[in-house]
Chains A and B, each alone.
Chain A
Amino acid sequence: MNEKIPIKQLSLKLAAHAGCTDTDAESFIKNFFTLIAEKLHNGDDVTIKGLGRFTLSGSTSEPVVFIPDDELANRINAPFAIFEPEILNDSVTSQMLDDVDSEAQVVDSADESTCSDVVENVEPKSEAADVVSNLEDIETDTVKELEEMPSMEVDDSEVPVAEIGEVSVVVDDELPNDDSTETCVDETPLPSAVDVQQMDVKPVDDSTIEENESSNDVDKAVDESVVVEVEHSTTPTLSEPPHIDTTSLVVGSPVIAEAESTPVVSAEPAIPTEDAGNHMKWFFLGLVVGLAIGALALAGYAIYYVNS
């Protein structure tokens, strides 16, 4: 649209339309309009069926007048053929027409804003937000179940990760053969079943898994196994799953093994503690880098001051 078509492109289109070669089409176009120019130079008007009529105007600024053929004009104006000239009533004022124009503009802008809203609504939620919300739901469910367990004395509604892990381990150590504890652990929902339904997106960052790999703590190791299981259940195409040494998890109690198989107790709160560790680590790293830069700047300024 609003482009200037050169003769080369015109000849290509003509060749495709007429079924001849490009050179023949270009040669025909040149001969065609050269002959028209000659006839006009001789003072003749030229009528081309389907194209229009070329006449001389007598003006030096624009000596040729082109009158398109009626069929050509009708075909070009076919999109507007449904409109006809309308005689407006005297009651229609220019103010009313301006109002109609402004309303049309408002409608156009409203359509654009609606489209943008639709686009915003179509955009998926952030994966991290979904993961966090799902983890929060699972955490509250887990805490409630912990509170319902008679053998475990959990008073706080929000139990940190380490405390949950310690409680589970301590209970298991004290009551290794207690059936109630085992049944309580067994009754806890499987994370894979919950997460597969709620965590359709990427559950955990790779950095989190890497952080988990470096941990040797028993509680964190159990958490890692859960995180890895969650990731396997949701993203089975992971090329290199993190390797977890499950032998370090075995303390000697059979209940711990069951806790590993059903690691809901310490699965969800693992990420907040890891995030906190990451934040502290990055905070201290940034602090050290900042102090180093400041010291270098101060030293440079001192050297400059001494030399000057």
Chain B
Amino acid sequence: MNYDTFTDELANAMGLESSKIDVLTQALSQTIEGFCADLDAVAIPGFGTFQPVKTNEKLEEDPSTGKRILLPPAICIEFKSSVVLRKQLNR
């Protein structure tokens, strides 16, 4: 499902305009981004948790060339689904 379809369905479900839903969706994305940038996890009840994970710089070796590469630190967002969502999807 693409983004436009999603916003249209959500607008119909909430009785709002698609543009308003788009604005709120972008604001929600930026809000989650702000919390994750501070390494705070965002928990959505019944859905899951957006957990930022920071990895420090590390050395990795390229198996083909044998060269060692120093990788910089990074933050990646992991999603852990809630028990409710897992049960819902596994039914």
Residues of A within 8 A of B (CB): 1-7, 10, 13-14, 17-18, 20, 25, 27-29, 31-37, 39-41, 44-52, 54, 56, 60-66, 68-69, 72-73, 75-77, 80, 83-88, 92, 97
Supply 18 further A-B pairs (C-beta < 8 A) apart from A32-B25, A76-B52: A1-B38, A2-B41, A5-B35, A18-B27, A28-B28, A31-B10, A32-B10, A50-B29, A56-B89, A61-B86, A62-B81, A63-B81, A64-B81, A64-B85, A66-B78, A72-B29, A75-B37, A83-B57
Given known A-B contacts A31-B13, A48-B29, A85 and B77 have beta carbons under 8 A apart: no
Is A35 a contact of B41 with CB atoms below 8 Å?
Answer: no
Q: What A residues does B67 contact at CB under 8 A?
A: 87-88
Given known A-B contacts A10-B31, A10-B35, A63-B86, A83 and B72 have beta carbons under 8 A apart: yes
Tell me, in angstroms, the Cα distance from A85 to B73 when the chains sit together.
Answer: 10
The one of B14, B41, B57 in contact with A28, judged by C-beta atoms closer than 8 angstroms, is B14
The residue among A7, A45, A76 with the most chain B CB atoms within 10 A of its own CB is A76
Interface membership of chain B positions 24-47, coded 1 if the CB is closer than 8 angstroms to chain A and 0 otherwise: 111111111111111111111111
- B88 on the A face (CB < 8 A): yes
Is B79 a contact of A65 with CB atoms below 8 Å?
Answer: yes
**Smallest CB gap from B84: residue in A:** A37
Q: What A residues does B49 contact at CB under 8 A?
A: 4
Residues of B within 8 A of A (CB): 1-3, 6, 9-10, 13-14, 21, 23-50, 52, 57, 59, 67-81, 85-86, 88-90
Given known A-B contacts A62-B81, A87-B68, A46 and B6 have beta carbons under 8 A apart: yes
Q: What A residues does B85 contact at CB under 8 A?
A: 37, 40, 63-64
Is B24 a contact of A20 with CB atoms below 8 Å?
Answer: yes
**Smallest CB gap from A6: residue in B:** B43
8 pairs from A and B in contact (CB 8 Å cutoff): A7-B43, A13-B31, A40-B85, A48-B3, A62-B80, A68-B77, A87-B68, A88-B69
Is B31 a contact of A14 with CB atoms below 8 Å?
Answer: yes
Measured between C-beta atoms, what is the minimum distance from A48 to chain B in Å?
Answer: 6
Is B59 a contact of A33 with CB atoms below 8 Å?
Answer: no
